[in-house]
Amino acid sequence: MNNHREKTTYDRSGTAQRGSTERRKNTAGRGSTACRRSTVLRGSTLLLGGLLAMGLMCGCGNKAVTQSASAIAQADTSRTICPDYAEVTPKYVFMYAENQPADYPTSLGAFRFAYLVHERSEGKIQIRVYTDSELGDETDLYRELQYGGVDFMRASLTGLTQFDEEANVLVMPYLYESSEHMWKVLDGEIGQEIMDSFEGTGMVPLSWYDAGVRNFYMREEASTLEDFAGKSIRIQDSAMMKDVITLLGAQYVVLEYDEVFSALQLGRVDGAENNYSSYESMGHNEVAPYYIEDEHTRIPELQLVSQATYDRLSDEEKEIIRECAKESALYERQLWAEREEFSKNAILQEGGTIVKLTDEERAKFQEAVQPVYELYVGNYMDLIERIRAEAQETD
Q: Is 274 in the site for ligand GCU (CB under 6 A)?
A: yes
d(CA 204, CA 223) in angstroms, rounded, equals 41
Q: Where are the alpha helices (DSSP H) in the chain?
A: 33-53, 61-72, 105-120, 138-147, 157-160, 179-187, 189-196, 239-247, 260-265, 276-281, 284-287, 307-310, 315-349, 359-368, 371-377, 381-394
Among 119, 132, 134, 138, binds ligand GCU (CB under 6 A): 138
d(CA 351, CA 96) in angstroms, rounded, equals 36
Least CB distance to ligand GCU at residue 17 (A): 24
Q: Count the alpha carbons within 13 Å of 206 in the hemisphere toward its beta carbon.
A: 28
Give me the residues paired with residue 215 across strands.
274
Site string for ligand GCU, 177-216 (x = CB under 6 A): ----------------------------------x-----
Among 257, 290, 331, 336, binds ligand GCU (CB under 6 A): 257
Give me the residues paired with residue 97 across strands.
130, 153
Least CB distance to ligand GCU at residue 332 (A): 11
Least CB distance to ligand GCU at residue 156 (A): 4
Nearer to ligand GCU, 126 or 236 (CB): 236
d(CA 384, CA 373) in angstroms, rounded, equals 9
Compute the chain's Rg from CA coordinates.
21
Least CB distance to ligand GCU at residue 260 (A): 7
Q: Is 343 in the site for ligand GCU (CB under 6 A)?
A: no
Site string for ligand GCU, 218-237 (x = CB under 6 A): ------------------x-
Least CB distance to ligand GCU at residue 2 (A): 26
Least CB distance to ligand GCU at residue 51 (A): 28
For the segment 62-91, give every residue that binds ligand GCU (CB under 6 A): none
Q: Is 336 in the site for ligand GCU (CB under 6 A)?
A: no
d(CA 370, CA 361) in angstroms, rounded, equals 15
Which residues are at the interface with ligand GCU (CB under 6 A)? 99-100, 138, 156, 211, 236, 257, 274, 278, 301
